[in-house]
Amino acid sequence: MRTTLWALEGLEHLLLGRGQRVARRNAWAAVLEDRRRARARSEAERLLGSAAAPPKSHAAIPGRPPGRPPARPRPPA
């Protein structure tokens, strides 16, 4: 794999000027950083969404607002 990378960099060196090589590497670094941020953002949205959702056991009770646990019965007096 490393040999292939070196071969591609050598070919890039022959075909492109220095400014174009730097621009291409900077653009690729920006693409990788955008992908990293997108993964982090989707992970944060997933975690926030699961934390904000009411527990499924409470949401399924008819006539009770979602997210509110059922009332406990009072002990006899």
- Please enumerate in sequence order all residues whose Cβ is within 8 A of that of 16, keeping only pairs 6 or more positions apart, or say none: 24
Using DSSP's 3-state secondary structure scheme, residue 54 falls into: coil
Would you kindly state where each structural domain of the chain is located, as residue ranges?
Answer: 2-43
pLDDT along the chain (77 residues), means of 10: 82 78 91 97 91 63 63 74
| pTM, entire model | 0.47
Question: For residue 32, what pLDDT is reported?
Answer: 96
The token duo for 46 is 């997933």
Name the phi and psi angles at 76, rounded to 5.
-65, 145
